[in-house]
Amino acid sequence: MTTAGQIMHRGAQWIPAHETLDRAAQLMRELNVGALPISDENERLCGILTDRDIVVGCVAMGHDPAKVTAGQMAKGTPRWVDADADVSEVLQEMQGHQIKRLPVIENKRLVGMISEADLAQHLTDDQMASWAESVYARTGTARS
């Protein structure tokens, strides 16, 4: 059995909900990532922020990223998977919610992220094609 913990990339970092989007963009640049999990004051997952969220949801709307917080951008129920979850559970979660990135939690702590690139390294071509079809086909683009 292949687990989420085996295919994730380690070193994922939270962005606190109170941090501004300009700081989030800087952190994304420093970490060379396109998404950051958002944590509440108790270090619990309350959302995920993508580079696209910053551009489309803030800048393109005429808002100042130095005045909008990560928490203000968090929408919906955050999705995550336990580090011990089987890869089939990972795929089910990502496909069922049309998401390209999935935080991995162990003992109530963020331990990594699973991205499309991580899947591509660990899935067969057929599994990857099925995943991509289900994530991208319904709306033409995936939510991040």
For residue 83, give the CATH number of its domain.
Answer: 3.10.580.10
CA distance 134 to 113: 20
144 in a structural domain: no
110 in a structural domain: yes
Q: Is the pLDDT of residue 10 over 60?
A: yes
46 in a structural domain: yes
pTM, to two decimals: 0.83
22 in a structural domain: yes
Q: Is the pLDDT of residue 6 over 80?
A: yes
Q: Is the pLDDT of residue 138 over 80?
A: no
CA distance 46 to 40: 6
Range of the domain at 74: 4-136
Residue-wise pLDDT tens digits, 120-136: 998 888 888 888 888 88
142 in a structural domain: no
Pairing of strands 101-106, 45-50: unpaired
Tell me the average pLDDT across 104-119: 91
131 in a structural domain: yes
64 in a structural domain: yes
Residue-wise pLDDT tens digits, 31-82: 988 999 999 888 889 999 999 999 999 999 999 999 999 999 987 788 999 9
Write the Ramachandran bin of 107: left for phi over 0, alpha for psi from -120 to 50, otherwise beta.
Answer: left
Count how many domains the chain has.
1
143 in a structural domain: no
